[in-house]
């Protein structure tokens, strides 16, 4: 790559996000994205409950257009209907109106991942890390509360976690590990610890450092107080040899949690030398058609650019 092209790329990735936020790649009418494997990705019609909650959030925002919280919920509720491109537009507006509010780039970056725009996601999350520097962390309320109605995630944690994921999907292992490790250190509870440990373990295995990978599992034990991220907890216990593969996978393969488990198992097959089995499991994830979960997106990335 010529030097001038490198400068252009760096400028694109780390310029003020609003400078390029509204330019999205063309997709067929009704589609949200093009998969890394080439398929057109569309979303089924949203349920009435999600549409009703979106209508309320939109009305609240339009009545209070200078309220950043109202815009955040308008954007989040839009995403819950599967309209990720619309969500990106809403948070692009939020970046223009509230340039110092890290939530705007955090949520837009998340949906850039959903539509496979990883470079844009990285730029948003790297920018978000500068916006939270020196600021107190805060709980992020759940859009879909868990059974105990206890939010488990934080703004800082989500920024570092999703930054790590975006780098992981680019197979930039060093930057992915840096982000996940920072997120682990910002973890507020066991749910955050098991999710970040899972990705850190896989990264170290992919980097060819199994001893370091085993070491990060020291942070995980069977008696942790995990509320939501049971799939990641079980994956870590599987890596430690405390669950069998059959116990890990169970009967929930065709779910967001199931795709995470199947991806972790496929990755385990890959770095233990069973590459044919790994590819078979990755293709089984793709066959579900549930293309939004991170396990599915990671399966796409591995099928198209594994190294």
Domain CATH number, residue 101:
1.25.40.10
Counting every residue, how long is the chain? 307
Residue 63 lies in a domain: yes
Residue 212 lies in a domain: no
Name the pLDDT band for 173 (thresholds 50, 70, 90).
very high
Name the pLDDT band for 252 (thresholds 50, 70, 90).
low
Cα–Cα distance measured from residue 165 to residue 159, given in angstroms and rounded to the nearest whole number:
10
Number of CB atoms found within 10 A of residue 16's CB: 11
Range of the domain at 53: 1-17+30-135
Residue 6: the pLDDT is 34
Structure tokens at 151: 């939010």
Q: What percent of the chain has pLDDT over 70?
A: 89
Number of CB atoms found within 10 A of residue 306's CB: 13
Question: In the predicted model, what is the mean pLDDT of residues 96-113?
Answer: 98
Residue 13 lies in a domain: yes
Structure tokens at 6: 């490198």
Contact yes or no for 37/298 (Cβ under 8 A): no
Residue 38 lies in a domain: yes
Comparing CA positions, the residue from 281, 277, 197, 271 lying closest to residue 240 is: 197
Residue with tokens 């008696």: 223
Cα–Cα distance measured from residue 200 to residue 281, given in angstroms and rounded to the nearest whole number:
21
Residue 301 lies in a domain: no
Higher-confidence residue: 106 or 249?
106
pLDDT in tens, 32-75: 999 999 999 999 999 999 999 999 999 999 999 999 999 999 99
- 268 pLDDT exceeds 60? yes
Residue 188: the pLDDT is 83
Cα–Cα distance measured from residue 10 to residue 13, given in angstroms and rounded to the nearest whole number:
5
Residue 14: the pLDDT is 43
Q: Report the number of distinct structural domains present in the chain.
A: 1
Residue 106 lies in a domain: yes
Beta strands per DSSP E along 143-220: none
Name the pLDDT band for 113 (thresholds 50, 70, 90).
very high
Comparing CA positions, the residue from 127, 128, 130 lying closest to residue 140 is: 128
Name the pLDDT band for 150 (thresholds 50, 70, 90).
confident
Query: Is the torsion defined by CA of 123, 89, 161, 128 positive or negative?
Result: positive
Structure tokens at 184: 């682990």
Contact yes or no for 227/150 (Cβ under 8 A): yes
Residue 81 lies in a domain: yes
Query: Is the torsion defined by CA of 78, 81, 84, 86 positive or negative?
Result: negative
Residue 144: the pLDDT is 74
Q: Give the containing element (helix H, strand E) for 31.
A: strand 31-34
Residue 94 lies in a domain: yes
């Amino acid at each position: 790559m010529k030097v001038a092209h490198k400068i252009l790329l760096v400028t694109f990735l780390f310029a003020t996000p609003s400078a390029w936020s509204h330019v999205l790649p063309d997709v067929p009418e009704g589609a949200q994205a093009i998969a890394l494997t080439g398929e057109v990705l569309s979303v089924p019609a949203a349920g009435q409950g999600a549409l009703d909650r979106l209508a309320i959030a939109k009305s609240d925002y339009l009545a209070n257009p200078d309220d950043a919280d109202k815009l955040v919920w308008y954007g989040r509720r839009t995403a819950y209907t599967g309209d990720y491109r619309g969500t990106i537009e809403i948070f692009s507006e939020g970046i223009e109106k509230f340039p110092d509010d890290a939530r705007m780039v955090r949520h837009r970056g998340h949906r850039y991942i959903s539509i496979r725009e990883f470079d844009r996601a990285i730029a948003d999350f790297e920018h978000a890390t500068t916006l939270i520097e020196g600021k107190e962390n805060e709980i992020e309320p759940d859009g879909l509360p868990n059974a105990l109605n206890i939010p488990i995630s934080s703004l800082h944690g989500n920024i570092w976690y999703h930054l790590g994921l975006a780098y992981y999907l680019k197979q930039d292992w060093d930057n992915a590990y840096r982000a996940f490790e920072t997120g682990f250190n910002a973890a507020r509870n066991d749910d955050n610890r098991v999710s970040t440990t899972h990705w850190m373990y896989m990264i170290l295995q992919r980097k060819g450092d199994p001893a370091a990978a085993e070491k990060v599992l020291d942070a995980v034990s069977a008696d942790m107080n995990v509320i939501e991220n049971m799939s990641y907890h079980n994956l870590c216990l599987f890596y430690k040899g405390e669950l069998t593969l059959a116990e890990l996978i169970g009967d929930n393969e065709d779910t967001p949690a199931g795709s995470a488990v199947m991806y972790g198992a496929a990755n385990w097959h890959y770095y233990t030398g069973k590459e044919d089995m790994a590819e078979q499991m990755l293709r089984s994830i793709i066959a579900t058609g549930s293309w939004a979960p991170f396990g599915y997106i990671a399966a796409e990335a591995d099928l198209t650019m594994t190294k």
